[in-house]
Amino acid sequence: MPTETLSLSAPPNDPVVGLKQRLRRAERRRKLLYGALILPLALFLAIAFIWPIAALLKRSVDNPEVHGALPQTLAVLKHWSGDELPPAEAYAALTRELTAIRGTPELGTAAKRLNRETPGYRSLIMKTARKMPLDDGVDPQGALMSIDSRWSDVDIWQTIKRTGSPYTAFYMLSALDLTIDADGDLAATPPEESIYLDILGRTFWMSLIVAVCCLLLGFPVAYLMANLPQDKSNNLMIFVLLPFWTSVLVRVAAWIVLLQNDGLVNQALIALGITDAPLQLVFNRIGVYIAMVHILLPFMVLPLYSVMKGISPVYMRAAMSLGCPPFKSFWKVYFPQTLPGIGAGSLLVFIICMGYYITPALLGSPQEQMVSYFIAFYTNQTINWGMAAALSAVLLAATLVLYVFYARRLGASQAPAGR
């Protein structure tokens, strides 16, 4: 009997406290168990996902090159006002440090970093370093100025000071086509150098088009699947999932074969007399849209299907019994109930699309390359981790903003429905 065991194990003199303690102990044990169940995955995520992302994001503000190469010079410049030429100790420290790192990779990276700030700086550093070490007893200031007259330029020294801090907003600002001008104010990058806002806009726009196309194509399929008998909808589901069974690369290659100038699609169009000359369907935006919609369609159909499956067909009947014509019933009663699915599917497709790399890289012209292409470009080709990390951070931030927007809008509208 339950009451008997309860009175046996609880101390009879203080039953309330004993009960509460035992409840807490029981709950603690359960919480520990739950914790243990998710621990392996939580650890894996922390090591393989959260930590690398955090490390990468840190690189977007990291600025170690000059700071690591010229610490003494920077220490002297710290107290320098920046209005006139720096004190003689600065010249001496720079001479010492250039001598010390001459011929090491450190010099090269620092020179490259400075060059990014002021074009021509790289050659200045390299030229100066080649003349090191100076002969004993020579005045470093005069010697440097005679090696290159630019060492008597205040701006040149300001560049060292500016790039010398261990952290910088340079990459993040560059990713948004912004820069800090000589006066230390935020300014737009000159138009011939500003590309990232365009690319970001293009990434958004192309993702939007793909998401809308997926919605337009996926909605009827999901509706059909949700309203067919189970065996038929299962068969249809196989066709929806079929693209998942082959690699993206294979599918992209297949699209190239199909869409190229003498490909199957163009041959068919010409044979049918629709066009005389082959249409340019690949290595432009049309090709990218076709392939991306094809690849991402299942991500739209599945959330839509799962939401539609839960909408009873009785709602449509009820609307019609109340005098509402069939199409209006669909629009007023069925469609609003699919909004959570539309939101989830569109967001999924849009977010995946924002990070797409392979398809535009293989099927598009330079005009179709999205943010991910430039991230790959900076990591693989120019080894500019700062820029790669900054672009990644912008992409991540845009995705998070979208997600929060979605959660607010649909979360709020769904709260009363309790689903």
Partner 1 sequence: MQPIADPIVTFRRVQKTYDGENLIVKDLNLDIARGEFLTLLGPSGSGKTTCLMMLAGFETPTGGEIRLDGQRIDTVPPHKRGIGMVFQNYALFPHMTVGENLRFPLAVRKLPAAEIDAKVKRALEMVQLQDFAGRYPQQLSGGQQQRIALARALVFEPKLVLMDEPLGALDKQLREHMQLEIKHIHQSLGVTFVFVTHDQSEALTMSDRIAVFDKGIIQQIDRPDALYDAPANAFVASFIGENNALDGRIEHDDGDSCGVRLVDGSFLKAANGGVGRSGEAAMLSIRPERVRIVADADGANRLPAQVEELIYLGDHLRIRLRVAGSTTFTVKTPVSRLAQSPGAGQQVHVEIAPEHIRALTPMPA
Residues at the contact surface with partner 1, assessed by CB under 8 A: 312, 314-315, 317-326, 328-329, 332-333, 336-337, 339, 416-419
> For residue 126, with 0-12 CB atoms within 10 Å meaning exposed, 13-18 middle and 19 or more buried, which class applies?
middle
Q: Judged by CB, which is closer to partner 1: 100, or 324? A: 324
Rounded to whole angstroms, the Cα distance separating 373 from 296 reads 19
CB of 412 to partner 1, least distance (A): 13
What is the chain's alpha carbon radius of gyration, rounded to the nearest angstrom? Answer: 32
Rounded to whole angstroms, the Cα distance separating 371 from 196 reads 8
Question: Considering only CA atoms, which of 156, 168, 171, 75 is closest in space to residue 111?
Answer: 156
Structure token pair of residue 262:
């003498």
CB of 340 to partner 1, least distance (A): 10
CB of 330 to partner 1, least distance (A): 12
Question: Are 220 and 300 in contact, with CB atoms under 8 Å apart?
Answer: no
12-50 as b/e, with b when 16 or more CB fall inside 10 Å?
A: eeeeeeeeeeeeeeeeeeeeeeeeeeeeeeeeeeeeeee
Q: Judged by CB, which is closer to partner 1: 80, or 315? A: 315
Q: Judged by CB, which is closer to partner 1: 128, or 338? A: 338
Rounded to whole angstroms, the Cα distance separating 384 from 391 reads 11
CB of 414 to partner 1, least distance (A): 9
CB of 332 to partner 1, least distance (A): 8
DSSP lists the bridge partners of residue 222 as: none
With a CB cutoff of 8 Å and minimum separation 6, the contacts of 290 are 255, 259, 281
CB of 382 to partner 1, least distance (A): 52
Instruction: Name the region of 138 (left: φ>0; alpha: ψ -120 to 50; beta: rest).
Output: beta
How many CA atoms lie less than 13 Å away from 153 in the CB half-sphere?
A: 11
Q: Judged by CB, which is closer to partner 1: 28, or 317? A: 317
Q: Judged by CB, which is closer to partner 1: 319, or 353? A: 319
Question: Considering only CA atoms, which of 411, 396, 293 is closest in space to residue 349?
Answer: 293
Q: Judged by CB, which is closer to partner 1: 246, or 413? A: 413
How many CA atoms lie less than 13 Å away from 375 in the CB half-sphere?
A: 23
Helix (H) or strand (E) holding 186: strand 186-188
Q: Judged by CB, which is closer to partner 1: 98, or 319? A: 319
CB of 403 to partner 1, least distance (A): 23
Q: Judged by CB, which is closer to partner 1: 261, or 413? A: 413
Q: Judged by CB, which is closer to partner 1: 196, or 219? A: 219
CB of 311 to partner 1, least distance (A): 9
Rounded to whole angstroms, the Cα distance separating 151 from 145 reads 5
Q: Judged by CB, which is closer to partner 1: 270, or 320? A: 320
Q: Judged by CB, which is closer to partner 1: 82, or 326? A: 326
- Centre a 10 Å sphere on the Cβ of residue 164 and count the other Cβ atoms it contains: 23
CB of 308 to partner 1, least distance (A): 14
CB of 312 to partner 1, least distance (A): 7
Structure token pair of residue 6:
């309860």
CB of 339 to partner 1, least distance (A): 8
Residue 325's φ and ψ, nearest 5 degrees, are -60, 155
